[in-house]
Amino acid sequence: MPRDEAVQFFKKLGEYYKAEIIAAIPAGDAISLYGQGDWVDLCRGPHVPSTGKLRAFKLMKVAGAYWRGDSKNEMLQRIYGTAWPDEKQLKAYLTRLEEAEKRDHRKIGKEQDLFHFQEEAPGAVFWHPKGWTVFQTLIDYMRKRQPAAGFQEVNAPEVMTCACGNSRPFGEVRRKHVLH
């Protein structure tokens, strides 16, 4: 469905948030809708041919979120869930999640006094002495291994605007060497 048509479609349904999201999609980009019976929604997919194929499901969590992350906007409800063809696959998925949680580097780093994070610097690592030693040991190991594997070390800014990562010349280097 063309973008402008999709915007009008969702406005008629009273789905103003979806209309706003679609209006921000660049003209010419694909708009993907998904339907099940009379229900139609904006969706990237992939999809199952029928919800009847999903026999096992679990509500994982619920959370509140302000529209567009702005506390001046309306609070919305997020619902997280998972669905699988049978209970066995659902149980296996939940077991994998449990195992991954046990190995979560953020939890282990805190427990072993390796590093911590702070709200003031999202995503930035504050290394503690033991953690910095481990990190430096890994860097030394990689520096010894990379030339033999045909790799060269590069460095880029740790903080920059999103636009910089897509501009020349860094954007071309990033697409060629980092993203592929």
Structure tokens at 72: 């001046």
- Beta bridge partners of residue 10, listed in sequence order: none
Please write the tens of the pLDDT for every residue from 112-160.
Answer: 999 999 989 888 899 999 999 999 999 999 999 999 999 999 888 877 7
Compute the chain's Rg from CA coordinates.
Answer: 23
The sign of the torsion formed by the CA atoms of 78, 83, 88, 89 equals negative
Collapsing DSSP to helix, strand or coil, 36 comes out as: strand
pTM: 0.59
Q: Answer whether 56's CB lies under 8 Å from 90's CB.
A: yes
Please write the tens of the pLDDT for every residue from 1-48.
Answer: 788 889 999 999 999 999 999 999 888 888 888 887 788 888 877 777
